[in-house]
Chains A and B, each alone.
Chain A
Amino acid sequence: MGVDSLGADHVHMAFLLHDARGLERGSREIAAPERRRAARRLWRVDLLQAAAVATVAMAVALFLADGGAAGIGDPGGALTALGIVTGLIATDLVLVMLVLAARVPLIERSVGQDAAMGLHRRLGKPVLVLLLAHTVLLVAGYAVADGSGLIGEVVSLWNTPDIPLALLGLGLFVAVVVTSLVAVRRRFRYEVWHGIHLLVYGAVLGALPHQFSLGGLFAEGTWQRWYWLLLTIAAFAAVVVYRFGVPVYRTLRHRLVVEAVEPVGPVGDGVVSIRLRGDDLERLGATGGQFFVWRFLTRGQWWQAHPYSLSAAPRGGALRITARALGRGSAGLASIRPGTRVALEGPYGIFSEASRSRSRLVLVAAGIGVTPVRSLLESARFRPGEATVLLRTRSVDEGWLLEELRELCRARGATLITIPGARGAGWLSADAEQQGLSLKEFAPSVVDSDVYVCGPLGWSEAVVAEARAAGLRPEQIHHERFDW
């Protein structure tokens, strides 16, 4: 087998399955293409973030440009002004959330779906608070200005055109945010949660009429009205085109079909590789490390969407994924028959060459997290000796896709190390931890490498924390979560 233990001091803690550490020759040019690529990508990230913040400022500026600040003099006016501003900011942020979830290619390539959806998730609760504040502040503001009681003002507003519809929208939004709170979300299966989540389009549309009919800000003939309309239309267009249109088009155009379903490792593991064939697959522009959302179009499964990473670089009209029967949906994977048609959304994610920032590469994986690492290693640009693969495995030379990885590492000159054994406190095995092994020990030049991490969430976070502590910059650390 050619298994060497890593260093005399570390017997049985970690195992060198393939050693390419001596192959590295001299240092590459200072301005490596990876660094230039990262610099360009980080500019895009910064500009996108600044643009998102600027739209919030713009929402407030619409109000200021309309002379909104003039009414702040009296208490009623101040409450009303604050109420309008919170409504404007909240609506703007809802549109930002729609765009973040729309899979816009520019956002996909720059920050990746995981980071975009992370921001989308973080915005949900603050936006709900802003929307509720908007409602309360305006009722109070109007009540003070009109000299009527709160109840009277509520009744009068209820009888105002478009307000009942807006309140319906608010109710839908509350339902969407509450079902997305971590504790509540886990009670639903994905498809149910997603169905409720789609109500958000109703929420946004329901809230739309009162924005134009109730306040004078978006009255006919104002430029503010045009800006707001265009912003809303653009957000919805992004969703319609990239979330629905593009996937449907790609599914129809590439006519993906299951070619073979093969078990990986012991059958009891429930891990299978699925090979798919289709037309013009190179036009998808997918690379190793990326993932698609798959739907197997059989009677019992078409409604289940699975986010699975490619486990091999796309080549010659074929794609391959490897997945473990983890969730309720994955359990039926092994029963999929060759010939099944497949719908796809993607490719998504920048757990790929798109996020490279250094010429050296350290890939760290545990469990089924090996899949994107396997395909990334195939697609990545590196010279012999510049890449290291670290795998947490059950035993020395037992792991899903391990033989394939070993072949790849031999062919491309990458170092392959397995770390078997029982779980420790961090990301290593308990034994390896006791021996004081670390990322730096395994890959001495990790500080000047890109580190890609894929595995269970808590485990990945431990690797990321160690990489940060070792002095790696944020753009060198790549980690995407796949749970919803």
Chain B
Amino acid sequence: MRARAFVIASAASAAVLLTGWQLGTAGTDPAATTASNGGTSKTTGGTDASSGSSSGTTDATDAAATGSTTQQAGSGVADGTYPGTTVGTRFGDVQVQVTISGGAITDVTPLQLTDHDGRSVSISNRAAPILRDEVLQSQSASVSFVSGATYTSDAYVQSLQAALDAAGF
């Protein structure tokens, strides 16, 4: 390679790499990305999830609405299943449904997990049971993220929190 070619190649490569780096660092904070995506994608918005307006979640919403909810005496929380909001991430939408029975969280079922690509599917399949166990143990949405599944964990917790809010948990 001649000196001039080397200089041009170096300059062009440096410019391309710097631009890539700039674009990358502008939106790499997972929380920030998720938040912004959550605001602009198909999220149902707000915490009014039990009345469900998200497309594709009507089954769950119907289930919640059609009498699986019974008032539990002595507690402010009704038994039943409550779907959370749909939270968009760059790897796909996430929505979970929480089951409350006897004033406790008894189950968390993912309705939709990050599935844009093969790797995301395997990551969410791995992360979901871990997150579920943590939630059942802590009886709240404040759980630690699964490493290597930051986006999925973050969206999972957001959706869960919305479901819990809707249940008044």
Contacts and interface: CB of A to CB of B under 8 A. Distances in A.
B16 A54 contact: yes
B117 A216 contact: yes
Interface stretch (B22-30, B44-52, B96-104, B132-140): B22-30
Interface of A: 42, 45-47, 49-51, 53-54, 56-58, 60-70, 74, 76-77, 142, 145-146, 156, 160-163, 210, 213-216, 219-220, 474
Contact of A77 (B29, B122, B148): B148
Sorted nearest first, the 8 A-B pairs with minimum C-beta distance are: A61-B20, A145-B148, A57-B13, A67-B28, A64-B20, A46-B5, A65-B23, A53-B9
Contact of A161 (B14, B118, B120): B118
Contacts, number: 108
B90 A216 contact: yes
Given A64-B17, A64-B24, A65-B23, A50 B8 contact: yes
B44 to A, nearest CB: 21
Contact of A46 (B8, B27, B30, B116): B8
Contacts of A51: 12
Given A54-B16, A69-B21, A145-B148, A215 B117 contact: yes
Interface of B: 1-2, 4-5, 8-9, 12-14, 16-17, 19-21, 23-25, 27-30, 33, 90-91, 116-120, 122-123, 126, 147-148
Contacts of B24: 64-70
Contact of B2 (A46, A145, A161): A46
Given A67-B27, A156-B122, 12 more contacts: A42-B4, A49-B1, A53-B13, A57-B13, A64-B20, A64-B23, A64-B24, A69-B25, A161-B118, A210-B118, A215-B119, A216-B119
Contacts of B12: 50-51, 53-54, 57
A216 B91 CA distance: 6
Nearest to B120: A216
Contact of B19 (A65, A68, A146): A65
Contacts of A220: 116
Q: Which of B4, B5, B29 has the most CB of A within 10 A?
A: B5
9 contacts: A46-B8, A65-B19, A65-B23, A65-B24, A69-B25, A145-B147, A162-B118, A215-B117, A216-B120
Contacts of B28: 67, 69-70
Nearest to A156: B122
Contact of B117 (A63, A67, A213): A213
Contact of B5 (A45, A63, A69, A70): A45
Contacts of A56: 13
A213 B139 CA distance: 36
Contact of A60 (B20, B119, B148): B20
Given A69-B28, A145-B147, A60 B8 contact: no
